[in-house]
Structure 1
Amino acid sequence: MGKKRKLGQQAEVAEAATPEEVSAPQRPKRTLLGWKDGAVGPVQENSSSGAAGARGGVPVFRNKEKVLITCSRRIMSRYRHLMLNVVSLLPHCKKDNKVESKSSKGATLNELVELRNCSYCMFFECRKQKDLYLWMAKCPNGPSVKFLVNAVHTMEELKLTGNHLKGSRPILTFTTNFNKDPHWMLLKEMITQIFETPKDHRKSKPFHDHVFAFAIVDDHIWFRNYQIVNQGGIEETTLVEVGPRFCLNPIKIFGGSFGGPTLYENPFYISPNQIRALEKKKKAGKYATKVKAKTRRKMHELENPLEPDEFADLWRE
């Protein structure tokens, strides 16, 4: 063991030490604008590449966007499993508690997004324990989109053979229909910013082993998730579906976050309540035709009575 210094020697060492050596290094300022710390200023000679945050004096962009995923209360188990599947596919998302589905949900969600330091929000809203609506919003200034979710199939239901690494970065593919109309172009940009995993994210893996496919068929957006299977060369690369599956029917596009001026409204949208009402009317129409047929039969019997049978009492005693 080393010898202990005397009290006088310790005082001399403390006086010889400079204030820079004694004080801890100053922490860089926290930035929320997407730029690395100290990126704008000149590169220091003794600083590391991570602390300097610039390459040759050029600012380096760091994507800090995160997505908040939550749902409404009294949601069905099937829709909750779909939300959990989406959470497992997006390593840059944050899951929060359930939110009450009322008129003030926009202010509540904007506050939650700000508290969780996110920039986008996906809100799964279930109504009447039957219908599922999906909100995609850029918080806090918008825009936001409201979808009706149809044809829901979770990973537990499908039991497909595909599999990919959890947290790997996906490749997003879109059909050419997204470039035709302005509202489809806006939806494409929002989907890209939400579903694309930021580069060098701490929870992501530096691999591309699956594909997110978005296709427009009959004015609906169909989502599929495929695994990239490379059995040898590039020519032998195949796609195996992983799941989940769902279909998005756009209802409205708003200028603000969860509200605001309407930028686009789907003219072909029919609410599920109207569809159920039409089905009830159709069933009620069948019953009404049966009642009318019975009434006509009775009226016909009254107008055309049968003649009395002369042999009816022949075998009676």
Structure 2
Amino acid sequence: MSSSVLKAATKGKRKADEMDVDDRPSKKRNKQRVLLLSSRGITHRMRHFMNDLEALLPHVKKDSKLDSKSQLHLLPELADLNNCNNTLYFEARRHEDLYLWAAKTPNGPSIKMHVQNVHTMDELKMTGNCLKGSRGLLSFDKAFDETEWGKLTKEVFTHIFGVPSTARKAKPFIDHILTFSILDSKIWFRNFQIIEKDPLQPNGPPQTSLVEIGPRFVLTPIRIFEGAFNGATVFSNPEFISPTAVRSAIRREKGAKYGQRKDAQLENSRRKELRKRDEDELAVSKVFA
């Protein structure tokens, strides 16, 4: 070995010895992946809504429908097979009722929510637009930090809706904001495009504005479970009334109105009988008998 090569090798070894590998800061990688699937019986609007979420979140892995609504313990296994550590499961019920499960798999926690006021991108026809596959900023209302269930929901939503920079389909752009707000114990979701005014325009300095894109939906938390789709109940919403109970109350109210109307008719007939006068001696039926 020549002296120059030996000198270079010795110098490289000295640099390697002087370098402390353990002191180097380790960069934490965001490896969140989300499994998106639904149960049998969802409507066409719900399918379009799921397609909007799939286009909005490039780290989503879409799977086929789950046949059984009672075997939710299969969802963590499906997420493991698809190499996903989060799950969004839409559960369809009768009368077009839709429920959303958001869970950290395989160990939990999981949140069951009722989905209301769904508006897809095609229905809204908003003027905003964003690049498909771009990453979005997450904006949470300060009300999430005021309750324990709000903090837990915020953490789960951060893992699910936060797109990692290393996602395979993600683009290196951030051009929209996903907002989560709490009002009337419900979670309101909105998606806005970030528009920056061109500084070359002579009208004035650049100003950042937001234009809504869609979709829209409202979530009502029902229960938070300790495990993934099972386990002990961590939180139960005392203000939630199921749609079935609401429909039953409406039917009872209609039945009560019908009963009141029939009772009024009977009372009217009884009063007519009481006001009826007896026939006297000069009645037509007696005079011309």
Aligned in 2, Cα 1:228/1:312: closer, same or farther, shift over 3 Å? Answer: farther
Aligned length: 262
Is 1:99 the counterpart of 2:70? The answer is: no
Is 1:228 the counterpart of 2:205? The answer is: no
Q: What's the offset of the Cα at 1:114?
A: 0.6
Identify the residue that residue 255 of structure 1 maps to in structure 2.
Answer: 226
Match of 2:149 among 178, 183, 191: 183
Is 1:79 the counterpart of 2:46? The answer is: yes
Q: Distance in 2 between matches of 1:311 and 1:155?
A: 79
Identify the residue that residue 168 of structure 2 maps to in structure 1.
Answer: 202
Q: Distance in 2 between matches of 1:182 and 1:291?
A: 51
Identify the residue that residue 109 of structure 2 maps to in structure 1.
Answer: 143
Whether the aligned pair in 1 keeps the contact of 2:197 and 2:206 (CA below 8 Å) is: no
Q: What's the offset of the Cα at 1:60?
A: 3.3
Identify the residue that residue 218 of structure 1 maps to in structure 2.
Answer: 184
Q: Distance in 2 between matches of 1:220 and 1:208?
A: 27
Aligned in 2, Cα 1:94/1:152: closer, same or farther, shift over 3 Å? Answer: same
Q: Distance in 2 between matches of 1:184 and 1:57?
A: 36
Gapped regions of structure 1 (runs ≥ 5): 1-44, 46-53
User: What are the equivalent positions in structure 2 for 1:288-303 lying under 5 Å apart?
Assistant: 288-303=259-274
Q: What's the offset of the Cα at 1:59?
A: 3.2
Identify the residue that residue 25 of structure 1 maps to in structure 2.
Answer: none
Percent identical pairs in the alignment equals: 44
Match of 1:276 among 247, 256, 259: 247
RMSD after superposition: 2.3
Higher RCO by CA contacts (8 Å cutoff, separation 6 or greater): 2
Amino acid at match of 1:84: N
Match of 2:81 among 106, 109, 115: 115
Give CA deviations for 1:102-131 in whole Å, capped at 9, x if unaligned: 3212x2111110100000000000001421
Q: What's the offset of the Cα at 1:202?
A: 2.4
Q: What's the offset of the Cα at 1:312?
A: 7.1
Is 1:287 the counterpart of 2:266? The answer is: no
Q: Distance in 1 between matches of 2:30 and 2:155?
A: 16
Whether the aligned pair in 2 keeps the contact of 1:210 and 1:226 (CA below 8 Å) is: yes
Give CA deviations for 1:11-46 in whole Å, capped at 9, x if unaligned: xxxxxxxxxxxxxxxxxxxxxxxxxxxxxxxxxx9x
Q: What's the offset of the Cα at 1:238?
A: 1.0
Match of 1:64 among 25, 31, 50: 31
Q: Distance in 2 between matches of 1:181 and 1:136?
A: 18
Whether the aligned pair in 2 keeps the contact of 1:215 and 1:223 (CA below 8 Å) is: yes
Is 1:267 the counterpart of 2:238? The answer is: yes
